[in-house]
Amino acid sequence: MTVIDREAHGERQALEVPVVDSPPHAQPVGWHHRHLLDVDTLSWADIELVMRTTDAMREVLARPIAKVPALRGRNVTILFYEASTRTRVSFEVAAKNLSADVVNIAAATSSVTKGESLVDTVRTVEALGAQMLVIRHAVSGAPYLAAEIFSGSVINGGDGWHAHPTQALLDLYTLRSRFPDGSLEGRKVVILGDVLHSRVARSNIWTLTAAGADLWLCGPATLLRGFEAWAGRGAAGGRRFQVTSSIDDALRDADVVMALRIQKERMASGLLPSLREYGARYGLTRARLAGARPDALVLHPGPMNEGVEIAADVAAGAQSLIEEQVRNGVAVRMALLYLLAGTVRP
Amino acid sequence: MTVIDREAHGERQALEVPVVDSPPHAQPVGWHHRHLLDVDTLSWADIELVMRTTDAMREVLARPIAKVPALRGRNVTILFYEASTRTRVSFEVAAKNLSADVVNIAAATSSVTKGESLVDTVRTVEALGAQMLVIRHAVSGAPYLAAEIFSGSVINGGDGWHAHPTQALLDLYTLRSRFPDGSLEGRKVVILGDVLHSRVARSNIWTLTAAGADLWLCGPATLLRGFEAWAGRGAAGGRRFQVTSSIDDALRDADVVMALRIQKERMASGLLPSLREYGARYGLTRARLAGARPDALVLHPGPMNEGVEIAADVAAGAQSLIEEQVRNGVAVRMALLYLLAGTVRP
Amino acid sequence: MTVIDREAHGERQALEVPVVDSPPHAQPVGWHHRHLLDVDTLSWADIELVMRTTDAMREVLARPIAKVPALRGRNVTILFYEASTRTRVSFEVAAKNLSADVVNIAAATSSVTKGESLVDTVRTVEALGAQMLVIRHAVSGAPYLAAEIFSGSVINGGDGWHAHPTQALLDLYTLRSRFPDGSLEGRKVVILGDVLHSRVARSNIWTLTAAGADLWLCGPATLLRGFEAWAGRGAAGGRRFQVTSSIDDALRDADVVMALRIQKERMASGLLPSLREYGARYGLTRARLAGARPDALVLHPGPMNEGVEIAADVAAGAQSLIEEQVRNGVAVRMALLYLLAGTVRP
């Protein structure tokens, strides 16, 4: 263990960074969660530990051979019930960088289509040797069910509209690395788009408010339903964010704008106008971005519908951190695999 | 080589267990089959050797890093013409645990759909570097054709209705581990369900009768066609099993019940009543299981249609060995890959 | 580095063979291309270097453990927008033999179907860790676009009708290994079939004419359109090949016949007669092959439609090099990955 000084939440603390080359169970690092199902059970100290461990992983990624033997011989099974490239590959690369053995199961093309229940699939996957299970599922809560029966660690790779904790942690890491003091305290952060159906938004609300951001949710009123009430309850619990359908109000002097992906399949629901109309009213264009601070940062969880929720020149522009989000995604997932693995005897 | 004592088939023998950490061709272990196409060409001594080697592999699986370098650098290609999760992943994990390089080819999404013949595909796969080929195919006999032209080892991962030898060997291993003397001699074993279309049943008939079990096949008469005659011929050859459509007769005092998966696609054939009616008449429920011995063991090759051929509470109950079957499946496949690899110069 | 003597292009030269066990950037080998997009930018010296490096890789493939640590820890991402078995697996095995980490992305089942642009996908794949990118795409030129934005090396795994450089290099390697002096100078080589839609033909025209072959293109006139004019321009540039619809003229005294795959989907275009009629007029049968030299060599890029563009007995006959093409394909791709990796700091 090495000891570094770091400003964290305004206080000066002596914090430790794990030496991530060694197997994780060899050293206590202060992490006690066996699963990562959402961010809402993480303390701020937990989040800080993820951030510091990610720093260590970025150092690994910068080496000529970006590989450590920390999880050698561990079986990381990636069980995805929804199509995905970036998240699936991000976990796969993260696990391989830690020297784990990776098993990919795309449930759409697997026995799962033969009608097997999630419980049976999880039991089977464990009996097949899975020690860490990354699961993505269209049904909110599915990873919680998996965690009840799986002996190893479960990581939620996205469940329904509910949560996408690794995305929220990589977004937080990406933003912190761009502010001089690593703090989001008082920074105006806007989440823009189809908040209603977004697991990315739900997990980000938690971490960004925990980080002290001045958080705004913005989109068509139909896609913000229920969040007014949540904002009210949140305020009672010390977490403050606000909700608006006015994109001008939202973007004014914003430090950060996170555009959400529009799921074309939502059109059928009648909740969204046409893509063209949505883009005209809420698309993040260069003109609109001009309303924010001059150096405002732009995020998007990907994959993008360019010309709909975000203009191509904004996505590729100097203020965009979109590729850095993807890059940090690998490092954050390495950190999480490492920390979680330390809680389970291999 | 280490020497252990073991009760086998009622006789006390001094048997050797391979030291499976080393490459297999370095030591003669008494295995002479280049391919595993079915169980019917295995002598009892062969089967015993598979069982003992599986013991060694279970010891490997219990290590903190469940990995040996035995097949390092060997190319194991898994060529599956039918969708599968458990069998495909089981072979993949088994091969990776032996440090082999694994290539997965899901034929449905491959050039095979461009009309290439099986012979050309097998020749191509060999030229691409495959040294061991695991093949699953909807056509009975396909692995035999592959074995005629492939220079390395072919393992049948299931062909049509014909054979599923690794399933039969893992079932045998699982049962032996549960009987005090490791012997099935005289144990009443019931295979229940759609025997007609089941490669699992056909391979299990061979190994279970070889092990001396008192084997019963039970299901609707339409799904037992031809097995009466086989039972008659088998008796002449010293292999005895019987056939009945009475589930009460079959389950009475049974030591083991193996429920088979109902293939929903068989409905179209007119051979099966509705799923509901099948479940009502032949589903393995707790009430029916009460007719067997109190500690009767329950098997299912998976994936299950819970509520059809097996009730959820039976599948998850204390008598169920279903997860242990999956777990042993990895160990048995490690053993088979190891033994077969020893017959071929790499 | 070791030094060997080799006849090359009729001149006796002292040439060096890379010691391919070590990481490639440790030694200068005279290779300066960061990408392999087509063969038309390769000098003859480049092609010779690929051939010699392939010799070294064949030596690796002949070892008991056919694996070198040269690319350990490198991320080779295989991004295929078209279904493929042999080319995808060939690259995968080649990369694994060099100890690289391989990520497979079948774009048809990936986020790409969510409407992400090629540019965004390539940027994402790089941010996910890809250091070498093998891309196959239905659109001619797609790999060139990828190369403009990708920081590592791009290898064209086949783009539309345009180019398939690794296929042309493996075909050249395969032929050279069969002629006593390793030279194709003056050898009559026939490319037979649907030349119009063939990226294999286009890349082979370049390498075979560069090697000094007497090249003939043969097929129905509708499938040779535009090649007459190319042949004319080529002659001006010192590259000579001719075009004919007479299969008798083409095959007469030929040293090599390369049959191209008929894409059944071309039928719809009206450019091809029925498969039966095509086979009757241009299929490579034993009778037709009798018109070539007695020891004429037969190639096919695979997968084959046996009985259409090539008869089964010709494909499996003594003159056929089809399996050797596949075998050499792995070695050539190992050589190319090795050479390209040397141009990029890892």
Among candidates C110, C120, C123 on the partner chain, residue whose Cβ is nearest the Cβ of A83:
C110
B114 at interface of C, judged by CB pairs closer than 8 A: yes
Q: Which residues of C touch B116 (CB under 8 A)?
A: 302-304
Q: Which residue of A has its CA nearest to C105?
A: A85
Q: What is the mean pLDDT of residues C46-51?
A: 97
Interface of C with A in 127-146 (CB under 8 A): 127-129
Based on the fold, state whether residues C65 and C147 are members of the same structural domain: yes
Interface of A with B in 74-103 (CB under 8 A): 75, 77, 101, 103
Q: Over chain C, what HEC string results? A: CEEEEEEECCEEEEEEECCCCCCHHHCCCCCCCCCECCCCCCCHHHHHHHHHHHHHHHHHHCCCCCCCCCCCCCEEEEEECCCCCHHHHHHHHHHHHCCCEEEEEEHHHCHHHHCCCHHHHHHHHHHCCCCEEEEEECCCCHHHHHHHHCCCEEEEEEECCCECHHHHHHHHHHHHCCCCCCCCCCCEEEEECCCCCCHHHHHHHHHHHHCCCEEEEECCHHHCCCHHHHHHHHHHCCCCEEEECCHHHHHCCCCEEEECCCCHHHHHHCCCCCHHHHHHHHCECHHHHCCCCCCCEEECCCCCCECCCECHHHHCCCCECHHHHHHHHHHHHHHHHHHHHCCCCC
Q: How confident is the model at residue A344 (pLDDT cuts 50, 70, 90)?
A: confident
At B43, the amino acid letter reads S
ipTM score for this prediction? 0.90
Q: Evaluate if residue B277 carries a pLDDT over 50.
A: yes
Q: What is the mean pLDDT of residues B8-24?
A: 58
User: At B147, which CATH number?
Assistant: 3.40.50.1370
Q: Which residue of A has its CA nearest to C344?
A: A64
Q: Suggest the residue from A109, A120, A131 to mutate for an interface test with chain B (most B CBs closer than 10 A).
A: A120
Based on the fold, state whether residues A225 and A195 are members of the same structural domain: yes
Q: Which residue of C has its CA nearest to A263?
A: C114
C92/B103 CB distance under 8 A: yes
Q: Evaluate if residue A332 carries a pLDDT over 80.
A: yes
Among candidates B61, B83, B92 on the partner chain, residue whose Cβ is nearest the Cβ of A109:
B83
Q: How confident is the model at residue A114 (pLDDT cuts 50, 70, 90)?
A: low
B309 Cα to chain A: minimum distance (Å) = 13
Q: What pLDDT, on the 0 to 100 scale, is given for residue B271?
A: 78
Based on the fold, state whether residues C60 and C192 are members of the same structural domain: no
Position A138 in a domain: yes
C221-242 pLDDT tens trace: 999 999 999 998 888 788 889 9
C92-138 pLDDT tens trace: 999 999 999 999 998 864 545 456 789 999 999 999 999 999 999 99
What are the start-end ranges of the H helices in B155-285? Answer: 165-176, 199-210, 227-236, 247-251, 275-282
User: What is the count of structural domains for chain A?
Assistant: 2
Based on the fold, state whether residues A335 and A251 are members of the same structural domain: no
Query: Residue B291: enclosing H or E segment and its boundaries?
Result: none
**Mean pLDDT of the residues in chain C:** 90
A99 Cα to chain B: minimum distance (Å) = 12
Based on the fold, state whether residues B47 and B88 are members of the same structural domain: yes
For B298, residues 6+ apart whose C-beta sits below 8 A from its C-beta are B256, B257, B258, B259, B284, B289, B310, B314, B315, B317, B319, B320, B321, B322
Position B173 in a domain: no
Q: How confident is the model at residue C3 (pLDDT cuts 50, 70, 90)?
A: very low
pTM of the model: 0.92
Q: What pLDDT, on the 0 to 100 scale, is given for residue B16?
A: 58
Q: Which residue of B has its CA nearest to C303?
A: B116
Q: What pLDDT, on the 0 to 100 scale, is given for residue A68?
A: 95
Q: How confident is the model at residue A115 (pLDDT cuts 50, 70, 90)?
A: low
Position B50 in a domain: yes
Based on the fold, state whether residues B157 and B208 are members of the same structural domain: no
Q: Which residues of B touch A105 (CB under 8 A)?
A: 85, 89
Based on the fold, state whether residues A311 and A333 are members of the same structural domain: no
B110 at interface of C, judged by CB pairs closer than 8 A: yes
Position A6 in a domain: no
A106 at interface of B, judged by CB pairs closer than 8 A: no
Q: Suggest the residue from B75, B124, B133 to mutate for an interface test with chain C (most C CBs closer than 10 A).
A: B124
Q: What pLDDT, on the 0 to 100 scale, is given for residue A26?
A: 60
Based on the fold, state whether residues A107 and A186 are members of the same structural domain: no
B326 at interface of A, judged by CB pairs closer than 8 A: yes
The neighbouring-strand residues paired with C241 are: C215
B159 Cα to chain A: minimum distance (Å) = 17
Q: Evaluate if residue A6 carries a pLDDT over 60.
A: no
Q: Suggest the residue from B117, B120, B132, B151 to mutate for an interface test with chain C (most C CBs closer than 10 A).
A: B120
Position B6 in a domain: no
CB of B308 within 8 A of CB of B279? Answer: yes
Q: What pLDDT, on the 0 to 100 scale, is given for residue B11?
A: 39
Q: Evaluate if residue B171 carries a pLDDT over 50.
A: yes
The chains in contact with chain B, meaning 3 or more Cβ pairs closer than 8 Å, are A, C
A203-255 pLDDT tens trace: 999 999 999 999 999 999 999 999 999 998 888 788 889 999 999 999 999 99
Count of pairs with CB atoms under 8 A, one residue in A, one in C: 80
Q: What pLDDT, on the 0 to 100 scale, is given for residue C102?
A: 97
Q: Suggest the residue from A80, A103, A105, A114 to mutate for an interface test with chain B (most B CBs closer than 10 A).
A: A114
Query: Residue A215: enclosing H or E segment and its boundaries?
Result: strand A214-218
For B172, residues 6+ apart whose C-beta sits below 8 A from its C-beta are B47, B51, B184, B204, B207, B208, B211
C123 Cα to chain B: minimum distance (Å) = 26
Cα dist. C173→C57, C186, C324, C326 in Å?
A: 12, 17, 10, 11
Q: How confident is the model at residue C272 (pLDDT cuts 50, 70, 90)?
A: confident
Q: How far apart are CA B245 and CA B223, in angstroms?
A: 9
CB of A257 within 8 A of CB of A190? Answer: yes
Based on the fold, state whether residues C305 and C226 are members of the same structural domain: yes
Q: What is the mean pLDDT of residues B204-217?
A: 97
B112/C85 CB distance under 8 A: yes
C303/B116 CB distance under 8 A: yes
Q: Which residue of A has its CA nearest to C345?
A: A64
What proportions of chain A, in percent to the nearest 5, are helix, strand and coil?
Answer: 40, 20, 40
Interface of C with B in 55-74 (CB under 8 A): 61, 64-67
Q: What is the mean pLDDT of residues C57-66?
A: 95
Range of the domain at C50: 24-164+328-341
Question: Which has more confidence, A9 or A32?
Answer: A32
Position B11 in a domain: no
The dihedral built from the CA positions of residue C195, C197, C198 and C203, taken in this order, carries a sign that is: positive
Q: How confident is the model at residue C5 (pLDDT cuts 50, 70, 90)?
A: very low
Question: Which has more confidence, B16 or A98?
Answer: A98
At B271, the amino acid letter reads L
Based on the fold, state whether residues A204 and A155 are members of the same structural domain: no
Based on the fold, state whether residues A315 and A188 are members of the same structural domain: yes
B228 Cα to chain A: minimum distance (Å) = 30
Q: What pLDDT, on the 0 to 100 scale, is given for residue A8?
A: 39
**Mean pLDDT of the residues in chain B:** 90
Q: Evaluate if residue A163 carries a pLDDT over 70.
A: yes
Position B346 in a domain: no
C30 at interface of A, judged by CB pairs closer than 8 A: no
Q: Which residue of A has its CA nearest to B322?
A: A124
Between helices B199-210 and B165-176, what is the axis angle to 10°? 50
User: Residue B17 in 3-state DSSP?
Assistant: strand
C277 at interface of B, judged by CB pairs closer than 8 A: no
Position B97 in a domain: yes
DSSP string, A112-181: GGGT--HHHHHHHHHHTT-SEEEEEESSTTHHHHHHHH-SSEEEEEEETTTB-HHHHHHHHHHHHTTSTT
Q: How far apart are CA B334 and CA B327, in angstroms?
A: 11
Cα dist. B205→B46, B49, B321 in Å?
A: 17, 19, 19
B227-242 pLDDT tens trace: 999 998 888 788 889 9
B106 at interface of C, judged by CB pairs closer than 8 A: no
Q: How far apart are CA B279 and CA B281, in angstroms?
A: 6
Q: How confident is the model at residue A85 (pLDDT cuts 50, 70, 90)?
A: confident
Q: How far apart are CA A156 and CA A144, in angstroms?
A: 8
Q: Which of A14, A76, A55 is nearest to A337 (CA)?
A: A76
Based on the fold, state whether residues C58 and C125 are members of the same structural domain: yes
A85/C345 CB distance under 8 A: no
